[in-house]
Amino acid sequence: MIVAANFKMHKTRNETKEYLDELKKIKFNGVKVAVFPPASALMEDKIVGVQNAYPAIDGAYTGEIGLEQLNEFNIKRVLIGHSERRHILNESQEFIAKKFDFYKNQGFEIFYCIGEPLEVRKKGIKEVVEYLKTQIKDIDLEYENLIVAYEPVWAIGTGESASIEKIKETHEEIRKLTSKPILYGGSVKLNNIKEIIELPNVEGVLVGGASLDVETFKEMIKIAKDMK
C-alpha cells in the first residue's frame, strides 16, 4: 500500500520539517509513504519527493530546478503529469514524456498522474479511457520504478471524490495498460480512504488537501497499515 501527500504550494521549509518529524513518530509497517513538499522545502529524507523538475541536469531554465538541485538533497522521487501542471501550467504530453524519460534514465521513482476533465467523464468510460491513453503517449508503463496515479480533474481539490463505482471501473481499465501500482487521487479524506483502498486495482492514494494536517495523514497511514 502506498500513501502519498502532495502539499502543492503549501507549507514552508520549517513547517515541512516539523510535519516530517511528527509523521515519523508512527511506524509505517510496510506502507510506502511519500511526501511532496514545495521545492523550497526539499530536504534529504527518504520520504521526500519533488512535485516538479525540469528534464536537465542544469542550464538556462529560469524558475526551474533540475537534477543538480535534486542531487543536493539526494531526492530520487518525482511527481510528473499532475493535472495542475497539465491544465494550469499548460504542460504538453510531449514535454511530460520528455521529463518522464529524463528521470527514468536517472532511476527516479516516478509518480505519474493521469485523469480526465469533467466533460470527458460525462461522455462515459469508453471516452475516459481514450482520453487517458493520450496522457500515456510515449510513457513506459512498465518502468520498474513507476507508480501511476489516477486523479480525475473534477475530483481534485473539489471535496467531491469520484464514486466508488467510477474508481473501480477506471482502475480496472488502467490495469489493462500497466502492471505497476495504481493510486487513486481526488478529494481522498479520512472518511472515504478505507472504501477506496479496499477496491481491487487500487494500491494506494495520492492526497492533496487532506494531507496538510499531519494528524489526518497519520490516521490515513494507520488505515492503510490495517489493510495490508
Q: How many chain residues bind ligand PEP (CB under 6 A)?
A: 14
Spatial neighbors of 77 by CB under 8 A, at least 6 apart, are 34, 36, 48, 49, 50, 108, 109, 110, 111
CA 9 to centroid of chain Cα atoms: 15
Q: Give the residue among 181, 122, 124, 176 at the shortest CA–CA distance from 148.
A: 181
Site map (CB under 6 A) of ligand PEP, residues 3-22, x = contact: ---x-x--------------
Instruction: Please confirm, yes or no, whether 171 is among the known catalytic residues.
Output: no
Q: Which amino acid is at 212?
A: L
Comparison of 52 and 187: residue with beta carbon closer to ligand PEP: 187
The minimum distance between CB 185 and ligand PEP, in angstroms, equals 3
152 binds ligand PEP (CB under 6 A): no
What angle is formed at CA 167 by the lines to CA 161 and CA 168, rounded to 5 degrees? 150
Q: Is 216 helix (H, G, I), strand (E, B) or coil?
A: helix
Tell me how far apart the alpha carbons of residues 87 and 55 are, in angstroms, rounded to a whole number. Answer: 19
Place of cell 494536517: 213
187 binds ligand PEP (CB under 6 A): yes
The minimum distance between CB 87 and ligand PEP, in angstroms, equals 12
8 A C-beta contact, residue 170 and residue 128: yes
The minimum distance between CB 184 and ligand PEP, in angstroms, equals 9
Comparison of 55 and 208: residue with beta carbon closer to ligand PEP: 208
- Residue nearest ligand PEP, Cβ-based: 208
209 binds ligand PEP (CB under 6 A): yes
Comparison of 106 and 216: residue with beta carbon closer to ligand PEP: 216
Tell me how far apart the alpha carbons of residues 133 and 130 are, in angstroms, rounded to a whole number. Answer: 5
128 binds ligand PEP (CB under 6 A): no
What angle is formed at CA 175 by the lines to CA 174 and CA 181, rounded to 5 degrees? 100
| List 115, 151, 202, 214, residue binding ligand PEP (CB under 6 A) | 151
The minimum distance between CB 82 and ligand PEP, in angstroms, equals 6
Instruction: Please confirm, yes or no, whether 82 is among the known catalytic residues.
Output: yes
206 binds ligand PEP (CB under 6 A): yes
Tell me how far apart the alpha carbons of residues 37 and 50 are, in angstroms, rounded to a whole number. Answer: 7
Among the options 84, 91, 116, 151, which is catalytic?
151
Among the options 82, 84, 116, 171, which is catalytic?
82
Q: Which residues bind ligand PEP (CB under 6 A)?
A: 6, 8, 151, 156-157, 185-188, 206-210
Write out the catalytic residue numbers. Answer: 82, 151
